[in-house]
Amino acid sequence: MVQDRPFEDIIIGERASFSKTISEADVYAFAGICGDFNPVHVNEVEASKSRFKGRIAHGLLTASLISTVLGTALPGKGTVYLGNQISFWAPCYIGDTLTAEVEVVEKREDKRVLVMKTRVLNQSGKVVIDGQAIVMKP
Of 59, 57, 58, 63, give the one whose Cα is nearest residue 18.
63
What's the Cα-to-Cα distance from 106 to each of 4, 22, 70, 116, rounded to whole Å? 19, 31, 15, 7
Which parts of the chain have pLDDT scores under 50? none
Domain of residue 17, CATH code: 3.10.129.10
Q: Give the three-class secondary structure for 12.
A: coil
pLDDT of residue 111: 85
pLDDT of residue 1: 61
Structural domain of 109? 7-136
Question: Is residue 2 assigned to a domain?
Answer: no
Asked if residues 54 and 44 have their Cβ atoms less than 8 Å apart, the reply is yes
Question: Is residue 19 assigned to a domain?
Answer: yes
Question: Is residue 27 assigned to a domain?
Answer: yes
Question: Is residue 20 assigned to a domain?
Answer: yes
pLDDT of residue 5: 80
Question: Is residue 44 assigned to a domain?
Answer: yes
Which pTM was predicted? Answer: 0.92
Question: Is residue 69 assigned to a domain?
Answer: yes
Question: Is residue 1 assigned to a domain?
Answer: no
Domains: count for the chain? 1
Question: Is residue 130 assigned to a domain?
Answer: yes
Averaged pLDDT score across all residues of the chain: 94
